Chain A
Amino acid sequence: MSIAPAIDPVEAVKKAFSTAVLDVDYFRDETTIIIDPAQLPAIIRFLRDTVGLIYNYLSDISAVDYWDEEGSYEDRLGRFGVSYHIYSMLYNRRLRVKVFLPEENPTVPTITSIFPAANWLEREIFDMMGITFSGHPNMKRILMPSDWDGHPHRRDYPLGYETIQFSFNIEEIMKHKPFAKE
């Protein structure tokens, strides 16, 4: 049995989805295809099922927030980036598919129907970044408590700290500490 030769994923996606590819980036032997979020499930399915590509393993989904005090995300395609790291066991290579999402109501279609493993990874991103995955079967917080305010991994969410108690202000700080009610 012979294996079909590997084909270039960037060319293949460009050919099949002419309008979807917004940009391609090469850095340290890693290929990133930046695509239109609306066509994401179709492209992931195409990459998984096409002969010569067969990206059959979803390694990771990571989200990144480009916000900072100077508003530097404005020269990018959106405030949030979501990277899908897929891997082809047959051809032993990785590919990053990336989408950019706007600050207002960031939403991207789910890929749980293609890779069931995406279920929790997408929930984690919803929890940490506040990005909604439309069509997800159980879009709830996963790591943080269900009544948590805000999305901790956004760059405008403060790290938070506890004031150090010294002998001169021990009473003052004790007053503001949250304790379990009797």
Chain B
Amino acid sequence: MVADAPKTFQLDMSQWQGSLDELRGLVSERAMTGETMLLNMGPHHPSTHGVLRLLLELDGEEIVSCLPDVGYLHTGIEKNIESKSYEKAVTLTDRMDYLSPMSNNMVFCLAVEKLVDLDVPERAQVIRVICLELSRIASHLVWLGTHAIDMGAMSVFLYAFRERELILDMFEMLSGQRMMGSYFRPGGVWRDLRPEFLPALRHFLDIMPGRIADYERLLTNNPIWIDRTQGVGIIEPDVALAWGVSGASLRASGVNWDIRKAMPYSGYEAYEFNVPLGEHGDVYDRYMVRIEEMRQSLRIIEQAIKRLDTAKGGFRSDNRKFVPPPRTELGQSMEAVIHHFKLWTEGFSAPDKEVYVSIESPRGEIGCYLHGTGGNKPRRVHFKTPSFMHIQAIPVMAEGHMIADLVAIIGSVDIVLGDCDR
């Protein structure tokens, strides 16, 4: 019996209602005639790190143009905050950049503190610095693991998550939650450090330098890794600035801008650390910058532990108009009861003015624009998030590369879609 001849595949386009017209001007004219191919990547694609959809225009395997499409994870957090009092809104900010919730808490709390002119005691600032640097390491570990697994290096992922678990355990000690702790509050932090926290932190500081060296042994001089990353996704410093790239991705292009150094917040001016810079602005340099940033974060934490003993003040402000009194005072002081009641029923009021605060999150500059109403709820909160700007810049890095390189580029700029869509 003779086998049937293979059927030629014929796409039935008669039912198709769409049109390419809405893409005119965004993709090249060659796509209109069918000379280049339009291909969807995502939203459900393992290497897009969430729900990012990219519309690729391909000439063979080469990317001619790339149109990112975001918004799949839009949850209306900014709109929701407009209906919450300032203290309650902190819990919502956790859910934006879910790999470093502490940075989101921090930028929102700083904005509130600036708007109402609230002081933060020195000890609270030191605790905040420890948490911020721990979450920087945790976030970089997820970035490293997923970036490496995208490129076929499986074991780094397992090691990175093993160490991240130590950090999440410490966050659980602090706030009772592994990830969405809402540990920072306007005026300080929720509660003081637990007695088991510092031993856990010292243990982590002891083992982590060796672990970072392990990751580097797996990747830095690995010929496959070098082939896949060097010279890929180059972004020149002036182009990166124009497209609003920030954080490690900008520093990998050689621009020395770290908000912790340029506009110190939470006492960062007192710590000694280096800002690693790249030279070429390619995927490899972004990798090297982030690895070195983890080491610098460990340095900062070590200095912060020393400062804990001498830092003045409590773990949050004593300004009772903004920060609720401790439970022990409630039984003794009528004034404390009044403050407690006022703060937990209506919250505090902020002037009808606007402020903009930005900090260095693990991904880059995260900014918070906060406009009060004079009442207890904000008029408008807007978060400038690094992932939003970085996804916008992906086409600039991707054009002319292969699809496999695009996977490397997406991994290297370290995007979080919750951060992008808010």
Contact = CB atoms under 8 A, between A and B. Distances in A.
Interface string A84-97: 01000100101010
Nearest to A125: B382
B257 interface: yes
Nearest to A159: B83
B380 A85 contact: no
B263 A28 contact: no
A117 interface: yes
B384 interface: yes
Interface range, A side: 35 or more
A93 to B, nearest CB: 9
Given A60-B369, A85-B356, A115-B244, A153 B380 contact: yes
Contacts of B117: 28
Contact of B369 (A83, A117, A124, A137): A83
Contacts of B71: 141-145
B389 A30 contact: no
Contacts of A89: 241, 255, 257, 262
Contact of A92 (B76, B80, B262, B422): B262
B79 A60 contact: no
Interface in B340-399: 353-356, 358, 365, 367, 369, 371, 373, 379-380, 382, 384, 388-389, 392-393
Given A59-B365, A59-B384, A85-B369, A27 B355 contact: yes
B79 A117 contact: no
Interface in A84-114: 85, 89, 92, 94, 96
Output the residue of B70, B115, B243, B255 with the most chain A CB within 10 A: B243
B79 A152 contact: yes
Contacts of B79: 152-153, 159
Contacts of B6: none
Nearest to B256: A89
A57 B353 contact: no
B74 interface: yes
A5 interface: no
Interface in A32-63: 32, 56-60, 62-63
A66 interface: yes
B392 A115 contact: no
A92 B263 contact: yes
Contact of A30 (B25, B243, B356, B380): B356
A117 B25 contact: no
B371 A64 contact: yes
Given A59-B367, A62-B382, A64-B371, A152 B76 contact: yes
Interface in A114-169: 115-117, 119-121, 124, 137-138, 141-145, 152-153, 155, 159
Interface in A54-81: 56-60, 62-66, 68
Contact of A66 (B83, B114, B242, B379): B379
Nearest to A58: B244
A119 B388 CA distance: 11
A68 B371 CA distance: 14
Given A83-B369, A119-B392, A153-B78, A59 B356 contact: yes
Contact of A60 (B355, B356, B393): B356
Contacts of B379: 64-66, 155
B353 A117 contact: no
A114 to B, nearest CB: 9
B334 interface: no
Nearest to B239: A116
A28 B26 contact: no
A62 B262 contact: no
Contacts of B70: 142-143
B384 A60 contact: yes
Given A66-B379, A153-B380, A117 B392 contact: yes
Nearest to B245: A117
A70 to B, nearest CB: 12
Interface of B: 25-26, 70-71, 74, 76, 78-80, 82-83, 114-115, 117, 241-244, 255, 257, 262-263, 353-356, 358, 365, 367, 369, 371, 373, 379-380, 382, 384, 388-389, 392-393, 421-422
Given A57-B244, A144-B71, 15 more contacts: A27-B353, A28-B115, A30-B355, A30-B356, A59-B367, A62-B356, A64-B354, A85-B367, A92-B263, A115-B242, A115-B244, A117-B389, A121-B388, A124-B388, A137-B25
The 10 A-B pairs with the shortest beta carbon distances in the complex, nearest first, are A117-B244, A60-B384, A62-B382, A62-B369, A143-B71, A64-B380, A143-B74, A120-B392, A64-B371, A27-B353
23 contacts: A59-B367, A60-B358, A60-B367, A60-B382, A62-B356, A62-B380, A62-B382, A62-B384, A64-B354, A65-B379, A65-B380, A83-B354, A115-B244, A117-B244, A120-B392, A142-B70, A142-B71, A143-B70, A143-B421, A144-B71, A153-B78, A155-B82, A159-B82
